[in-house]
Structure 1
Amino acid sequence: MNEPFPAPPRHGLRATLRDGLRDILTPRRDEPPGPLMSVRDRYRYPALALLALLGAGFTAGSIALLITSASVHADVAWPIGVLMAGPLVVAARWPLHAWRASALGFALCLVAVGGRGFWPWPVPAFLALLVILFGVGASVPRRTTVAVGAVTAVVLGAAVAPGTAPWFVVIMVALTVVALAFGDAIGARRTLAADLAEQTELRRRDLARQAVLEERARIARELHDVVAHHMSVIAMQAEAAPFKIPDLPDAARDTFVVVRDAAREALTETRRVVGLLRADDEDAERAPQPGLDRLDDLVASAEHHGLAVDVAIVGVPRPLEAGVDLSAFRIVQESLSNAGRHAPGARVAVELRYGHDRLTITVADGGARRDREGTRGGGHGLVGMRERVTMLGGVLEAGPAPDGGWLVRAEIPYGASA
């Protein structure tokens, strides 16, 4: 549980008691709820109903015993009995408030009963107090639990003076300590579980963020070849222009020199940045970046690994910009890889639809047709596909297909990379 009573850290039993007493003497609106408030609704509401019934029963039993056994007048027995056992009804939501009211009722009962009887308090009220103490121990900080135990022990120890046997008081105090300790252990477990869940969620977010950054770095390295190719063309054309055009004016010749130098400098800076994105043990790419012209090789590789791939091309194929061509190839490649990993032996339908202003890629598998030979960890393929499509201004949909299996659909505008 989060610390509801912020205070500077102190050491020693005296400081712990002082801080805990300050907590229980200064009620706050944000005091933590009991453990029942954090369980599922299907268990919480029956437990709250049972707690309300117990509170009502313990209250009625306490009032009856005060009137009959302790000979307390009914006008006095009613408010004292309600104070001692009645707070159990609200202890699930406000355990510390419930303990305050119950402790006050026990103190007033000790005054009303005086020295009469072996035990000055009704047994149902003490049972209600034990349940309330458990809720306190499970919800408040440890220093507050220690202070609650100390005050409760003092109130119970006050019963020794009127004539209660000391050994019996020791047993009662031990029961209160056990209730508080048990509640504290439950509260500590809840705190650890909440912290573990929080750390797990933070780690999941960090891994997702890291996956996005890694995929963006990979995409940047792949697109480096595309940019380098265009910049090289610019540099070569600027270099060759003075030789191809006779009688070129000096001003134009100087302009081509500026263009050539700018292109070379851009190439150098691009290569330097991409080198920073490359891992220490990763070599530079030597092969040219692939495109949809290598789709047949990709399909043959997928069929070699057990998939049955059907390719359909709708519309008239057209030349694609290098970034769109590379991203389309990677999307089909990653989709087939995911199908081979999660649906081995499946039939996969690949459709390339050349529309008026965009290329639509659809890859759908019919689900696994044979058992997986082994479970392999999933990568971040969907993250990479989404990053590529987003970079090009397109739309990606990925999820279970209506008739089973998995469906990936990407729409990439033709001129997005410009």
Structure 2
Amino acid sequence: MTTSPSPAPAEASPRPQPAADGLVSAARRNLREIAHGLCHPSHPPVPPLANASKRWRRLLPYVVVIALTALFLPVTLNVLTNEYGMNDTLAGLLAVAQAAPLLMLAHRPLQAWWIVFPADVLGALVLLEYPDPPQGIWPWPPPTLISYCFVMLAVALRETRRTAVSVWALTATTSLVLHLAATTRSNGTSALLPAIGALLMVIGAVIRERGDAQRRLAEQETISEAERAQRTLLEERARIARELHDVVAHHMSVITVQADSAPYRIDGLPEEAREEFEAIASSARESLTEMRRLLTVLRNDGTEGERAPQPGLDRLQQLVEATVRAGLPAELSLPARLPDVPQTVDVSAYRIVQEALANVVRHAPGALTRVSVASDGAHLTVLVVNDRAVGPVSPLETTGTGHGLVGMRERVRLTGGTLDTGPLPDGGFRVAARLPLTPVTSQAPEDP
């Protein structure tokens, strides 16, 4: 009789992990993190005011810890010898172990706690061998209690919340164990130290987190300011690029028309010359097409205002009159006849005056402003000077970032000129630009 083979046992499914194992693993992980926090400080060994601008503030933490050590060292020695009757040698050793580490609170508070805490516990155990004085306090005598509070406060100010809570938990547990070990000797300090320590831990944590928040806010403001300046620079460069396109496109269009019409205007041109003119016209048209494509990218908003002709020195009078109507007294001085000004210089001079007047409106409203444009044949000088604001007039912007000067520098650098800006002794401000009237090809703009 044949027996059919027994079916193969199904593959055993993995047994679910008991919830208790997960709790044990989490407890072990937390204990490892606590042990790591207690053994490894979370800050470099520098005092809290190491980056202060004034020297006395940088020295303040050292002065405090030296004063604490000089105070608690003799007081602890005196209390141990006179109040508890401890011999001088042992009292001196305990006093040094409990008070000398206070010198480390400025830069290494966690390491100081690792010395002070065992020394205080050892001192409490040693005091059990001596008779209880009438006014004796155990397990934490007054000097030990107060100095240890400073240690806990320093730990809360410098270490992480997990480390500070761990220090307080060990302190409270030790106080409870000492109280249960000698109930007859224990009194209020066994509960007083954990209570005061909890309060100090909360205060220290609040101060520390507030300082961290202020530091992060200052860093973010610095980053935002740098990004804002970079964005302003890029926007101004894009605006200059658009205006430069208008200038170059005009000349390229003229080149194209001249190259196309040359064979019709000039008789007897050889075939090679006609082909050369055709190549010139074709290259000019291709360049115009590429520039229009680039302009489409730059003019991403497609506003009609940017398609309008770029303003120049001929519109300075309208600009000053509009500024006067806005409430800013302004004067304009122009020569009777300006020399031929390159279009790039023409647009740059107008934009410099426009930005200078806008800065006066924003930062010194009501100040008398004088605008003058002059030329010596080789350079065009643009000068905008404003007096200090008269009367109790609040500026429209109380803080200035200097971003308006970025565009001026970019335009002056584009033309190869120079720009001089700065406050005046009487409280006013001056903007002076000197732009060459001949093309400058030897200088290339550099990134700031």
Normalising by structure 2, report the TM-score: 0.81
Q: Distance in 1 between matches of 2:198 and 2:50?
A: 23
The question of whether the paired residues in 2 share the 8 Å contact of 1:324 and 1:417 is answered with no
Please, which of 155, 175, 179 is the counterpart of residue 156 of structure 1?
175
Is 1:303 the counterpart of 2:317? The answer is no
The question of whether the paired residues in 1 share the 8 Å contact of 2:47 and 2:61 is answered with no
Is 1:285 the counterpart of 2:306? The answer is yes
The question of whether the paired residues in 1 share the 8 Å contact of 2:370 and 2:384 is answered with yes
In the TM superposition, what are the counterparts of 1:313-352 in structure 2 within 5 Å?
317-352=338-373
Q: Distance in 2 between matches of 1:413 and 1:306?
A: 33
Distance 1:395 1:200, change over 3 A: same
Shift of 1:124: 1.2
Which residue is 2:68 aligned to?
54
In the TM superposition, what are the counterparts of 1:351-390 in structure 2 within 5 Å?
351-355=372-376, 357-370=378-391, 372=393, 375=396, 380-390=403-413
Which residue is 1:173 aligned to?
194
Please, which of 422, 433, 442 is the counterpart of residue 399 of structure 1?
422
Please, which of 142, 150, 154 is the counterpart of residue 123 of structure 1?
142
Which SS does the other structure have where 2:304 is aligned? Answer: coil
Distance 1:35 1:181, change over 3 A: farther
Which SS does the other structure have where 1:404 is aligned? Answer: coil
Q: Structure 1 stretches of 5 or more lacking a match?
A: 1-10
Larger Rg: 2
Task: State the identity as a percent.
Answer: 37
Which SS does the other structure have where 2:178 is aligned? Answer: coil
Shift of 1:51: 4.3
Shift of 1:309: 3.2
Which residue is 1:183 aligned to?
204
Q: Distance in 2 between matches of 1:182 and 1:412?
A: 61
Which SS does the other structure have where 1:159 is aligned? Answer: helix
Please, which of 411, 414, 417 is the counterpart of residue 434 of structure 2?
411
Distance 1:375 1:312, change over 3 A: closer
Shift of 1:247: 2.0
The question of whether the paired residues in 2 share the 8 Å contact of 1:344 and 1:370 is answered with no
Aligned length: 407
The question of whether the paired residues in 2 share the 8 Å contact of 1:61 and 1:124 is answered with yes
Aligned letter for 2:375? Y
Which residue is 2:44 aligned to?
31
Distance 1:131 1:376, change over 3 A: closer
Which residue is 2:250 aligned to?
229
The question of whether the paired residues in 2 share the 8 Å contact of 1:37 and 1:93 is answered with no
Aligned letter for 1:339? V
Normalising by structure 1, report the TM-score: 0.86
Aligned letter for 1:57? L
The question of whether the paired residues in 2 share the 8 Å contact of 1:20 and 1:145 is answered with no
Which SS does the other structure have where 1:290 is aligned? Answer: coil
Q: Distance in 2 between matches of 1:245 and 1:135?
A: 93
Shift of 1:34: 5.4
The one of the two structures with greater contact order (alpha-carbon pairs below 8 A, sep at least 6) is 1
Shift of 1:346: 2.8
Which SS does the other structure have where 1:412 is aligned? Answer: strand
Shift of 1:64: 1.0
Is 1:94 the counterpart of 2:108? The answer is yes
Shift of 1:258: 1.4
What RMSD, in angstroms, separates the aligned Cα atoms of the two structures? Answer: 3.0
Which residue is 1:85 aligned to?
99
Which residue is 2:280 aligned to?
259
Q: Distance in 1 between matches of 2:66 and 2:336?
A: 71
Which SS does the other structure have where 1:279 is aligned? Answer: coil
Distance 1:36 1:337, change over 3 A: closer
Distance 1:375 1:309, change over 3 A: closer
